[in-house]
Amino acid sequence: MRVERGARIGVVGAGAMGTGIAQIAATSGHPVVVVDTNGAALARAASGLERAIQREIEKGRLDAPAGAAAVARVQWHDGSGPSGLDAFADCGLVVEAVVERLDIKRDLFVRLERVVAADCILATNTSSLPVAAIAAPCARPDRVIGVHFFNPAPVMALVEIIPGLGTAAEVTAHTRALVDGWRKTTVLATDTPGFIVNRIARPFYGEGLRLHDEGIADPATIDWAMRELGGFRMGPFELMDLIGHDVNFAVTRSIFEAFFYDPRYKPSITQQRLVDAGMLGRKSGRGFYDYREGAVRPQPVADRELGAQIVERILVMLINEAIDAVLWRVASPADIDVAVTKGVNYPKGLLAWGDAMGLDRVLTRLTALEQEYGEDRYRPSALLKRMVREGRSFT
């Protein structure tokens, strides 16, 4: 099941993610067909793609002829009606980027199988649903694979490649090679909740929320500490406001439930209340911050001693989660560090950061938190304890 250079690529869904994936494939030389049941969405996507390509030209990343050729390679099809998926008949790869509902994705893949060729690879862009569950009703689950792009897809370098339990090894190899050829950085993840990035990143939000909920610091101070002292591009609260609390909370809750309610991933009631109130962040005008016209941004308490405690507490939780991902073979140590630097723009790989901080220090801080709170949330990874005991590091 090799997807040849120049093979037709199909995309199901004309939202922001689907349009971004179409742009990547088209600028890489593939003819692309995008199908959506919403005609208005198709029209918006087509004009949005043209604007995105024009920006690439203006920034000097594409010349005008190449940009025009990329736009011309994309076809837009109305997918409503019984023959709506027929446009994918000659595709070598079809990527779905539709709503995160298992029933909808499963039904879509069963219908796709009826129209695509026997050697067509079927990929899901799911960020949280099990690839194995999506592939289960298919007659050929061996050709179904997860290909998780990050938003905005043309900008973000990382793509997680996730084979399901039944995915053929050659499908995994050919899919990864194809996406590598699109000038993306791929990492290989096992089909576990949250894959690499969404799993490991939970403490960035969760522990920031916990610090706020306990009254240790306000959002502006926590964000300041993580940016100015931790070196992160954004703090957890401004990032949650950017992502949207409906999206961020849904991912956290999904991972919490998928891990059988492991307290390490427990959602925050504070964030749930924001969702309940419709205060979703930038897109609604209010979240942890007020984005309405005339609103004044709160100032942080720029206390470097307090800030250092904030950074260390969030950081040791992140490092512990990355180490636990190694323990449970979610991904290789190298892919884990690549994933967090390329997928969520962390200033360092967490495993390398743990080595630099000292794994013994990470363990000491986590043990103190575990004893102070008496919560399994702060339990140190068994691998962390083993490595400290044996004097090992990741580098």
Q: Return the active site residues.
A: 127, 148, 160, 198
Length of the chain, in residues: 395
Q: Could you give the residue ranges of the DSSP H alpha helices within the chain?
A: 16-27, 39-58, 64-73, 102-113, 131-135, 169-181, 197-200, 202-213, 219-224, 236-243, 245-258, 269-276, 304-327, 333-343, 350-357, 359-373, 382-390
**CA 206, CA 127: separation in Å to the nearest integer?**
18
**CA 150, CA 84: separation in Å to the nearest integer?**
27
* 8 close to 33: Cβ distance less than 8 angstroms: yes
* 41 close to 15: Cβ distance less than 8 angstroms: yes
Distance of CA 336 to the CA centre of its chain: 13
Number of H helices, E strands in the chain: 17, 8
**CA 273, CA 353: separation in Å to the nearest integer?**
34
* 53 close to 83: Cβ distance less than 8 angstroms: no
Q: Coil, helix or strand for 50?
A: helix
